Amino acid sequence: MTTKQKILGMIERLANDVTYDRVLYHIEVMKELEARLERLDQEPWIDHDEVFRKLMDEHAKDKTPVDPVSRARPGADSRLHRKEQSKASRAIHPTPEKGRRKAKKVS
């Protein structure tokens, strides 16, 4: 598919009342995407497992311990997760009285 065919196909999919600025924007996006895709085809890829293996090797040389599976719980600090309400919260939202409130009779 030629560049002209790609542009014409894109323009056909746009609304009939499209502005020149919008068409130019879409052409610029198409141009940038094609350039990036072409660059991706030319650059070498590194597999995720290979990157991880290299990182593990570097840490082994430095003798820095690496925990591949973290056992720490997020938010383990008990001060951050209080079970009781703060004083400010009680002032805004008072604790309800024990028992149920009686419904008012509507006359």
Amino acid at 79: R
Query: What is residue 7's predicted lDDT score, i.e. its pLDDT?
Result: 93
Q: What is the pLDDT of residue 62?
A: 75
> Is there a domain that residue 21 lies in?
yes
What kind and span of H or E run contains 13?
helix 3-13
Is the predicted pLDDT of residue 107 greater than 70, yes or no? no
Residue 76, in any domain of the structure: no
Give residue-wise pLDDT tens across range 52-92.
999 888 888 876 565 666 655 555 555 555 556 566 655 56
Q: What average pLDDT does range 15-29 have in this prediction?
A: 95
Residue span of the structural domain in which 11 resides = 1-65
Mean of the pLDDT values across residues 15-20?
A: 94
> Residue range 26-55: average pLDDT?
90
Residue 52 lies in a domain: yes
CA distance 69 to 74: 13
Residue 44's pLDDT is: 82
Q: Give the chain's domain count.
A: 1
| Integer angstrom CA distances of residue 13 from 67, 73, 106 | 51, 50, 62
